[in-house]
Amino acid sequence: MGKVYLTGAGPGDIELLTLKALRVIREADVVIYDRLANPEILKEAKNGCEFVYVGKEDGRHIMPQDQINETIYQNALKYDSVVRLKGGDPFVFGRGGEEAAYLFDRGIKFEIIPGITSAVSAPAYAGIPVTHRGVAVSFRVVTGHESPDKESSQIPWENFKTDDTIVFLMGLHNLPKITKKLIEVGKAPDFPCAVISRGTTQEQKVIIGTLENIVDKAKETPTPALIVVGKVVELREQLQWFEE
């Protein structure tokens, strides 16, 4: 019976992979990886390492989460060292907690290796700090995958009226609903926001707008992408560096 390393791959730039993540990848007998993990990372694995792709895209899953959980478990029975490689951080909307609980219930040892989350790093590469003295003293990270019109939504939309910075992950397809909901709860239509596509990679694209026009501006934007809502977006004019 082996050990599973639930490992964050970071936001895309391979140089943002942590040293600990790199070490366990190089020692792994099998790497079970998702769509958001930079494929270049797999080249760091040793000869003979097996690879299992369990990626998910909006509306199309290679395998459901229950099957992914079981795949990780079965590989832990077969191999000494199993790396479950997940884009960003495993515990930031990565379902890492569910996978860890599944292993715990079956007596499998596991370790969590945090990764740099795109919620902070992608805005940083876009020249948008999620906090800034005199502008924003807090930020909130929200799933953008849940529909704002969902009857049993867990998103506390009424609280967002006074939030300094809001970062929505996986929300591009729901952008029209998100902007509409934020205006309904009291955000000004001209409130600044940004869409960051493929952040921290050479394909990074940043669209700046307002709640009332960002949907039109961000049409045809490729995924993965995140949404930043807040006055900090206006700092990009001074702080953008990556595109240079």
**pLDDT per position as a tens digit, 32-77:** 999 999 999 999 999 999 999 998 766 566 789 999 999 999 999 9
* pLDDT (0 to 100) of residue 147: 59
Q: Of the residues 3, 20, 29, 56, which is catalytic? A: 56
Bond from prior residue into 189 cis (ω within 30 degrees of 0): no
3-state secondary structure 41-110: HHHHCCCCCEEEECCEECCEECCCHHHHHHHHHHHHHHCCEEEEEECECCCCCCCHHHHHHHHHHCCCEE
* pLDDT (0 to 100) of residue 243: 87
* pLDDT (0 to 100) of residue 60: 62
Are the C-beta atoms of residues 32 and 75 closer than 8 Å to each other? yes
- Would you call 29 a catalytic residue per the annotation? no
* pLDDT (0 to 100) of residue 161: 87
* pLDDT (0 to 100) of residue 177: 95
Which domains, ranges and CATH numbers included, belong to the chain? Answer: 3-113 (3.40.1010.10), 118-239 (3.30.950.10)
In the predicted model, residues of the chain with pLDDT beneath 70 are: 57-61, 147-151
* pLDDT (0 to 100) of residue 16: 98
Please give the Cα distance from 243 to 91 (Å, whole number). Answer: 29
What is the Cα gyration radius of the chain? 19
Please give the Cα distance from 2 to 224 (Å, whole number). Answer: 33
Between strands 30-33 and 50-53, the pairing is: parallel
Q: Of the residues 34, 86, 89, 187, which is catalytic? A: 34
- Would you call 63 a catalytic residue per the annotation? no
Q: Of the residues 13, 170, 181, 187, which is catalytic? A: 170
* pLDDT (0 to 100) of residue 58: 61
* pLDDT (0 to 100) of residue 41: 97
